[in-house]
Amino acid sequence: MPRIGIVFDRLRSEEKMLQKAAAGMGHDAVMTDAKITQFDTDGQAPDLGDVVLERCVSHFRGLYFASCLEFLGVPSVNSSAVSHLCGNKMLTTLQLKRSGVPTPRTLFAFSQEAAAECIERAGYPMVIKPVIGSWGRGVMKVADRDTMDAVIEVRALSDTPHDRIYYLQEVVKRPPRDIRVVTVGERPVAAMYRRSSGGFKTNVAAGADPEPCEITGELEDVAAAASRAVGGGILGVDLMEDEARGLVVHEVNSTVEFRGLATVARRDIPREMVEFAVGMAQR
């Protein structure tokens, strides 16, 4: 019976649900706080389990922890490669486009002058996103030249390495909601709608009840294709219902939150995740 490692930096409901699912299936769950774990390339390896569900909230902590796991020969779900890709919106968009997965038109520029020129040529409004970030932070609708100038000014002041990378996306015409699909091993397991609470973002509806979404054939195909495109594993595929084109994928999350979805899903999400990890350990 493989021992299931669960690596976290904040013990949320999701990690406790995974622990309970593993125990219920007869597996020892090895709970590891990434914040107090140390690695020595030449020393004794920490005991992390036979396979690890890497669940850090911090993208970079999770990414580098997964690299250490792989160095030790412990399979990490997700792998560092998948985490690297999904943690960066630009790399994800390029990979989705390359793989023929429907995704919004996106423009990239690498200086403030080029970004200003880019948006003037493409036309307003557009959505600007930080290439690394989650929960909708820093995602803004740029309606006009004044807003774009303000964004550029703020970025020049903070001047972090990623502030020079401009990710500008067409505004997708869609109902005021998006769809989150949890995929396990490239198979959609459950889906829900996320509604806007007034603004254009749909992922910040504080306190909104999860609303189940039926997994249609189209949703299944597009979510599976997106999951496959980024390398598979346990993922959260975010889609919008474009009025003209149908489903488009705008993001793939590599550390997916599923607490709300689990309350309405027909399938047992944590159990399916643990089953997937067991399969990885036995490969």
Ligand X SMILES: Nc1ncnc2c1ncn2[C@@H]1O[C@H](COP(=O)(O)OP(=O)(O)OP(=O)(O)O)[C@@H](O)[C@H]1O
Residue list 137-176, contact with ligand X (CB under 6 A) = 137, 139, 169-172
Task: Work out whether 251 is an interface residue with ligand X (CB under 6 A).
Answer: yes
User: Closest Cα to residue 99, out of 240, 237, 216?
Assistant: 237
What's the sign of the alpha-carbon dihedral 30, 35, 40, 44?
Answer: negative
Q: Among 200, 220, 275, 278, which residue interacts with ligand X (rule: CB under 6 A)?
A: 200
Beta carbons within 10 angstroms of residue 63's beta carbon: 22
- What is the footprint of ligand X within residues 209-238 (CB under 6 A)? 238
Q: Which residue's structure tokens are 């996106």?
A: 106
Answer yes or no whether residue 253 interacts with ligand X by CB under 6 A: yes
Candidate residues 250, 261, 269, 271; the one interacting with ligand X per rule CB under 6 A: 250
Residue 55 lies near ligand X (rule: CB under 6 A): no
Q: Which of 101, 66, 95 is nearest to 83 (CA)?
A: 66
Q: Which is nearer to ligand X, 104 or 232 (CB)?
A: 104
Q: Which of 223, 170, 226 is nearest to 200 (CA)?
A: 170
**Given the complex with ligand X, which of 137 and 245 has the nearer CB atom?**
137
Task: Give the residue with the Cβ less far from ligand X, 67 or 196.
Answer: 196
Hey, how many other C-beta atoms are within 10 angstroms of the C-beta on 134?
17
Residues of this chain that interact with ligand X (CB under 6 A) are: 104, 127, 129, 133-137, 139, 169-172, 178, 200-203, 238, 250-251, 253
